[in-house]
Structure 1
Amino acid sequence: MELAQLRYFREIARLGSMTAAARALGLRQPTLSAAVRQLEEELGATLLQRHRGGASLTAAGSELLRHADEIFALLDRAAAGIAGLEHDLVGHFVLGCHESLGAYFLPRLLPVVLKDAPKIALSLRNAPSAEVLAAVLEREVHLGLVVNPHPHPDLVMVPLFADAVDFFVRAPANAPAAPSGAAIYAPESCATHEFTAAIEILNTGPLIFAGRVQQCSELLEQLAERGAVPQRLLSCGDFELVKSLALAGVGVAILPRRIAAYGHEGALRRLHPRLPIVPDEIVLVYRADLPKTRAAAFLKDAIASTSRAMPDIGLRPRPR
C-alpha cells in the first residue's frame, strides 16, 4: 500500500466522483481507477461502489478512509513538528556533565533556559568527563560539559572557562574576611605564608582527595617530587565529599577552585601559593552532525553566555 494510492482514494471519497477526483489531482481517470483497483486487490475488499452519479464508499471503504485520515493527520503533525524544530525553540536534549561541575554551573544556566525557552525539554546525565564524552559520541548525550577532553574528529569542542585543581584547607579562625573574586586565590589570601608550614600541614595530613580523578594523582606525584609525603591519605569517591570533609576541618583537600568556592566562598583557602596546581579547561562538546535546529543553537549560545559570566579565579584558559 502506497501513500499515493491512499491520497487518491481519499480524494475520490471527498468528491464522490472518479472524474472529479482525477480533475482535482491532475491525473487521467484510468490512472486513478488503476490505483483504486490495486488497493482493492491488496486488501481483498471492494472499497467503492461505482454508479451513474459517481462513486460511494462501501463499509470497507469507510473503514479504510478512517484509517487513512489518521495516517495523514499523523504525517501533518510530523511535518509541523519538524518545521518547529527548525524554526522554534522546541525539542528534547540531554545535557551531560560531572556532578560537581554541574553543581556550580547548572544553577546559573538552567534558569535562563527554563525562562526563555519553556518548550525545550532537558534531561541531565551526571557522569565523569570520560563517560560524558563517550555518551556524546554514542549520541546518548547531545551536549556535554567536560574537563580537558582529547580532540576527536567527530566532535566539536568549544572552550568555555578555566579552573585549576589546588590544595585547600578550612580558613583559620583568625583569618581576615575573604576578599571577593579572584583576589581570594592571591598569595596574601592563602592559609599560610610560610612554605615550610604548608609542607608540615601536608605531611601531617590527612590529605583528602578524589581517588579516581587523574589530576589528584598528578598532584600527589608532584608533591613526592618536592619531598612532601603526607603520612595519612584519605581517598574519597567524589569532590563533594572531599569538600564536605575539608569544610569540617578534617584535613587538606585537593579540589578544583570553583568547586571549593561555590556555596562557601572564602570558607576554604588555598594552602600556599608555591604548591603545585593542575590547570583545567572546561569544554562544551557535541557531535559535528548535531542537527542545526534553532533550539540547539539557543542551548549552545546559552551555555557560552553563562560561561562568560563565570567568576574570575585568576586563571586563563590554556592556549590552543
Structure 2
Amino acid sequence: MDLTHLRYFQVTAASKSMSEAARKLGISQPTLTVAIRHLEKHLSTTLFLRERNGVRLTSTGDVLLRHATNLLSLIEHAEQDVRGLESEEVGSFVIGCHESLGAYFLPGFMSSFLQEAPRIELTLWNGPSASVTEAVIDRRVNFGLVVNVRPHPDLVIVPIFEDAVDFFVAAPPAGAPPVTELAGALQRLRTEPLIFAGRVFQSQELLDLLAKQKVVPSRLLSCGDLELVKSLTLANLGVGVIPRRVAAYGQEGRLRRLHPALPFFPDTISLVYRADGHRTRAALRLKEALARYGRSLGASQG
C-alpha cells in the first residue's frame, strides 16, 4: 500500500471534496482521482461515495481512515524521533569499562554528565579491557574505556590519560618510620606475601621483572580482582600489585608505593569506539565528554 496514496485519502476524507483536497495537497484533481482509484483497486473496495456537493466515506472507507490515521501518526512520530536523534542531545548509549577503572572514573563523570545532558540515557557494562574492546567491536557497547588497547581496523582509539601498575603497601602507623631504603623494600618483597590479580597481565610482567633482579617473593597470593588485592593490602597482609589510580581512590594516604626505584608497568587508558558508529549529536556530546573528563584526570595527576 502506497503511503502517499494513504495521505491523499486522509486529506480527501477530511475535506469531503476532491477539488478541495487536491488544492490542499498541491496536486491536480485528476492525479488525486487516479491515486484514490489505485487505492480502491488495491483493497478491492469503494472508499468514497461521489455526491453532488463532494464525497463521503463508505463503511470500508471509515475503517481505512481509522487505520490510516493511526499509521500516519505513528510514522510522523517516528520521523520526529529520528530527526531528534540527529539534531538534539537525545539517545541511549552503553559505556563499557573494567570495574576498577570505572570505580574511580565513572562517579565524577556521571555526576556531572547526567546533569548536563539529562535526555541522554547511559547504561554501564563491566568486564576486562579485552572483553570491553570485543564488545565495542561487536556493537554491544558504544564507548569503551580500556587499558593498553591493541589496534583494530574497526576502532578509533583516543588515549586520554596515563596510569601505572606498581607495588603498594599499607601506610605505616602514625609515628612508625616508613621504609626509605631500596634494600628494605626488596627485603619486604622477598619476605612478605605478594598479592596480585592473576588475570591482570601487568602483574605477571612485574613478577618477571623481579625475577630478573633475583627478587623472589616467599609467597604469592593470587586473587581474581584488583579490589580484593587492594583490600588485602590495606589490611597489611603483604605487598599489593595495584594500578596507582586504583590504590589512590577512596583511600587517601592509606596506601603508598613501596619504593620509587622499583619497577612499575606503565598503562595508557583510552577511549575506544567503532569508526563507523552513527555520529548523532548525542553520541558526539558523550564522546567529547568522556575524552575531556579523562584528560582532566591526567592533568590533575600531572
TM-score class, shorter: over 0.9
1:234: how far off? 0.9
- Going from structure 1 to structure 2, the CA distance change for 1:175 and 1:47 (only over 3 Å counts) comes to farther
- Going from structure 1 to structure 2, the CA distance change for 1:250 and 1:228 (only over 3 Å counts) comes to same
**Which residue number corresponds to residue 184 of structure 1?**
none
1:303: how far off? 1.5
Mapping for residues 131-210 of structure 1, pairs under 5 Å: 131-174=131-174, 191-210=178-197
1:271: how far off? 0.8
- Going from structure 1 to structure 2, the CA distance change for 1:275 and 1:175 (only over 3 Å counts) comes to farther
**Which residue number corresponds to residue 63 of structure 1?**
63
**Which residue number corresponds to residue 318 of structure 1?**
none
Secondary structure in 2 aligned to 1:145?
strand
**Which residue number corresponds to residue 97 of structure 1?**
97
Query: 2:125 corresponds to which letter in structure 1?
Result: R
Determine which of 194, 199, 221 is the counterpart of 2:208.
221
Q: Per-residue CA shift, 1:219-275, capped at 9, x if unaligned?
A: 111111111111211111110111011111111100000000000021111111221
- Going from structure 1 to structure 2, the CA distance change for 1:169 and 1:4 (only over 3 Å counts) comes to same
**Which residue number corresponds to residue 298 of structure 1?**
285
Say whether the 8 Å CA contact 1:147–1:283 is kept in structure 2.
yes
Q: Per-residue CA shift, 1:24-46, capped at 9, x if unaligned?
A: 33334343233222322332332
Say whether the 8 Å CA contact 1:95–1:122 is kept in structure 2.
yes
Mapping for residues 118-129 of structure 1, pairs under 5 Å: 118-129=118-129
**Which residue number corresponds to residue 38 of structure 2?**
38
Query: 1:232 corresponds to which letter in structure 2?
Result: R
1:201: how far off? 1.2
Give the alignment's TM-score, normalised by structure 1.
Answer: 0.89
**Which residue number corresponds to residue 20 of structure 2?**
20
Answering whether residue 220 of structure 2 is matched by residue 233 of structure 1, we say: yes
CA separation in 1, counterparts of 2:175 and 2:27? 89
CA separation in 2, counterparts of 1:314 and 1:38? 71
Say whether the 8 Å CA contact 1:163–1:313 is kept in structure 2.
no
Say whether the 8 Å CA contact 2:162–2:298 is kept in structure 1.
no
CA separation in 2, counterparts of 1:191 and 1:96? 39
1:191: how far off? 4.7
Where structure 2 has 5 or more consecutive residues not aligned to the other structure, the ranges are none
Secondary structure in 1 aligned to 2:203?
helix
Say whether the 8 Å CA contact 1:48–1:56 is kept in structure 2.
yes
**Which residue number corresponds to residue 113 of structure 1?**
113
Aligned residues: 302
Say whether the 8 Å CA contact 1:191–1:271 is kept in structure 2.
no
- Going from structure 1 to structure 2, the CA distance change for 1:196 and 1:109 (only over 3 Å counts) comes to same
Query: 2:101 corresponds to which letter in structure 1?
Result: L
Determine which of 229, 241, 247 is the counterpart of 1:254.
241
Query: 1:115 corresponds to which letter in structure 2?
Result: Q
Q: Per-residue CA shift, 1:133-167, capped at 9, x if unaligned?
A: 11111111111100111112221111111000000
- Going from structure 1 to structure 2, the CA distance change for 1:71 and 1:191 (only over 3 Å counts) comes to farther
Say whether the 8 Å CA contact 2:98–2:126 is kept in structure 1.
yes
1:314: how far off? 6.2
| Identical pairs, percent | 55
CA separation in 2, counterparts of 1:220 and 1:191? 23
CA separation in 2, counterparts of 1:117 and 1:208? 41
1:195: how far off? 2.0
Say whether the 8 Å CA contact 1:10–1:65 is kept in structure 2.
yes
Q: Per-residue CA shift, 1:167-217, capped at 9, x if unaligned?
A: 0010111468xxxxxxxxxxxxx9522222222211223111110111111
CA separation in 2, counterparts of 1:201 and 1:89? 54
161-170 or 55-64: which moved more? Answer: 55-64
Where structure 1 has 5 or more consecutive residues not aligned to the other structure, the ranges are 177-189, 316-320
RMSD, matched Cα: 1.9
CA separation in 1, counterparts of 2:251 and 2:179? 19
Say whether the 8 Å CA contact 2:161–2:298 is kept in structure 1.
no
